[in-house]
Amino acid sequence: MHWIDPNSLPEVAGTFERFVLNPHGEVDGFVMKDRQAALLVHTPPHMDHELTRHLSPDDNIRVRGVRPRGAELLAAVAVTTADGRQIVDEGPNHDRKHPNVRQETMAAEGTVRMSLFGPKGELRGALLVDDTVVRIGPKEAEMVAALLVPGAALAARGDGLLTKHGRVIHAVEVGPDPEKLKPVRKPKPKDKKHKQGDETRAA
């Protein structure tokens, strides 16, 4: 069960547009239109089944959630459907596992419609204007953040899935176009010993 009481949170109303997928093909959020603007809503993967059963395009829905700093995102604790059903984040089952899916090499190219974030506001990829979801690990995404902002040109290649809710690619290479793809890499860890040595000399 989520530690936050959803009824204590402000409610945002809008129109459901489309689901957003994680690299395993699970729904971990959706896009809704709030006052004509597109808003990214994050939902945990264990809510996938209930959300996909009860949400359809153009439904009028309401979301109670929290907004992390520095990200255009609403992390949902509860979603109320068009027929008044409230879907609450009750937490995952302890034995829950990711679905066993078969990925294949896929590529995508286009313009970024919106940046994608994790529940705490960590950058995790982009949604293209053709609705392709491009996923990148949060540490790696920091290194290519300029390619993941709305309006940026983005090309990606990686392990992908095509589901009934859309296409998702877990990128291993990204660039501004297919001719300039580079491997996605994590930032190098800081040299703690060197840093401690500098502090000792400074003292």
CATH assignment of the domain containing 11: 2.40.50.1010
Average pLDDT over residues 53-81: 96
Q: Give the lowest-confidence range in 16-30, 34-48, 104-118, 186-200.
A: 186-200
The tally of domains found in the chain comes to 2
Sign of CA dihedral 59, 61, 66, 70: positive
Same domain for 109 and 77: no
- For the record, the structure tokens of 186 come out as 């994590």
> Does residue 194 lie in a domain region?
no
Instruction: Give pLDDT, residue 203.
Output: 46
| Pairing, β 37-42 against β 104-117 | unpaired
Q: What is the pLDDT of residues 91-145, one digit of tens each?
A: 887 777 777 888 999 999 999 999 999 999 999 999 999 999 999 999 999 999 9
Angle made by CA atoms 169, 174, 178, in degrees to the nearest 5: 100
- For the record, the structure tokens of 95 come out as 């034995």
Residues whose CB falls within 8 Å of the CB of residue 45, separated by 6 or more in sequence, listed in order: 22, 24, 26, 27, 28, 92, 98
Same domain for 51 and 119: no
Question: In terms of residue numbers, what domain contains 146?
Answer: 104-183
H or E segment at 193?
A: helix 192-202
Residues whose CB falls within 8 Å of the CB of residue 190, separated by 6 or more in sequence, listed in order: none
Instruction: Give pLDDT, residue 34.
Output: 82
Return the SS3 of 73: coil
User: Which residue reads 């899935």 in tokens?
Assistant: 161
